[in-house]
Structure 1
Amino acid sequence: MDKKYQVFISSTYEDLKEERDQAIKAVLEMGHIPVGMEMFSAADEEQWQLIARQIEATDYYVIIVGHRYGSETPEGISYTEKEYDYAKSCGVPSLGFVIDEKASWPVDRVDKDSKKKKKLDGLKNKIKSKPVHFWSGKEDLHGKISISLIKAMNGNPRTGWTRTDESLDASITKELSRLSAENSKLRDENNKLLNKQLEAVDEIRDVVNILNENSRTLQIRSEASFDTATEHTRTLLQLFLAVAPNLILENTNEGIASNVSYSIVGTKYHNFWPFGKTPTEHLMADFAALDLVEPSKKKHPVSDKSSYWSLTRIGKQVQKRSRRIQLEEGITTSEDRLDDEDT
């Protein structure tokens, strides 16, 4: 009797949606049963146990790798790599498909984080330790998966599933196709929040690094005249962290100038525009350009001509996450640098 084989398809999700669809299509066109993580959620151990049971019951395992390592488990390994390792430990024949490094690829679907890149290279090398197939596009991938599965099924036949009759087979295939599309849509919706969180983390890390890589020199006066003003150089990160606490609600430009001056010279600053109105406006323009601050939405009397600012969503996240990012990136903290950067 004809057999139907279960084929587990593993990959990162958001960046390889179309490629996964082609893999599922290839398996369905061959009359077999595709299974993949879009039918589940690997967000906790209970769901991982469900995925593990599916891998154990799988006849062939297909892993597709692009330029992203993917979401990681608490142990620091991606769910894709965890699935691959488990399939190998179960003795499931594994077929690896790694993207050709010369193939054109959207830059927004490439890992920028150096740690993730290193882990991705390790996964690719692990897959390349066995015969592997290189692909350059979704159409190319479709054909290579079909050919590779045919060779694997002929050369290494597995237990598979036996069907009762053609009409049942057709209805099962149709239902599987419908369920696959439905589960893919649900998976997409369920992962949007997680992906937004992951993207936000990367976005905040980028902003922190930009702030740290740019400096400003301010002339802070301790009396009415600027003749005796002293120069002080600080990174935009130091300056932002100095003013952020008082921007959670709102603050004026002059208040911001005072906050910056206090963080540098303590109370030894002139209480009226300690480093000037124009430099303060330029500083706030820098923060606004990075979407860290925005004009306050609170209402004020018409007679009040001051400019009021508040933190944006990104600004609040930078203030909240900056300390951890500084430690992870090896960025010297403002407390460490305030004493040795005066010029």
Structure 2
Amino acid sequence: MDKKFQIFVSSTYEDLKVERDQVIKAILEMGHIPVGMEMFSAADEEQWKIIQRQIDESDYYVIIAAHKYGSVTADGISYTEKEYDYAVSKSVPVLGFVLADTASWSADKMETAPERRQSLELFKSKIKSRLVDFWSSKDELHAKVSIALMKSMQTTPRVGWVRSDTVSNSPELVKELTRLSQENAGLREQVKELEQQDISRKAEETQSEKTFEILRKNKAKIYIFENGATDWSEPKDGTLLGIFQAIAPNLMVENTPEKIGGDIALYYGVVNVRAYAPVPTNHVSHWLADLSALNLIKPSDKKHPVSDKNDYWSLSFEGENLIRELRRIQLEKGLIDQESPENTGEKES
């Protein structure tokens, strides 16, 4: 297939008009497509979008530099340097051509302001950090551009452009279209799966949020029988959310209602409680029923000896998800302190 490459030609304009013409002539002689921005106003933001699109579609980028820096953007760099930086950012192969220091040059085509000369030298240094050649006349530039482009097309082949009538029946095209079709089908399936996962995740999040609000809004009075006391303590204000957070860690395996009562007492700050029913058993049963109705807990599936008359509860799948999310939020916000022997009821050995 006969490919034609699009080549973007960048430089300051008035001082290098003749040289640009020579470069464009060299590209046309090679049978390729030169692109220049002479017809656009570089200061126009809409035109900058056109320039970007032209660079995006170009196969190679040619930069010509002499002794002018050019008009400056609001960012403080010249439009020529802005084009160069954009081409580099898009990984378009860049071919630099810098006027040799020994070349004769008209004084009216040179920068006079110290700041602009400094900016120009910095820009030239940037160009010289990549593939670069030096020229002294328009004819020499013509020849060097032709040679450099031919080498680049061999060593760094690009997509290029071809006539549509030359590729319609091409075996390579048919093979590529088949590959792309298969790849597209696979990607569509992946997108579909991800969308389904996203829908499921959002549904779970919505349900968790609703459950959280229900738990938070349902108040509870927490009566606790401390060890050595003669009656129940003054009730503490709690919520079904607090109760769930109190008992969930030990329900990841399973737990009995009596021990669940102890977990609730500990959560609400009472360590030393009586062994039997530290929290009213009818209250615990009521809360367990509420949490079961919300599908957060369930009777344990583990097998126990026939002689074991205890009831056992464990977290459901929904309960595991909710406590996991609550713990994650607490950890992210630094709300979980390392437990000490004093607030766990344990004694140091």
Bigger RCO of structures 1 and 2 (CA < 8 A, at least 6 apart):
1
Larger gyration radius, structure 1 or structure 2: 2
Q: TM-score scaled to structure 2, two decimals?
A: 0.47
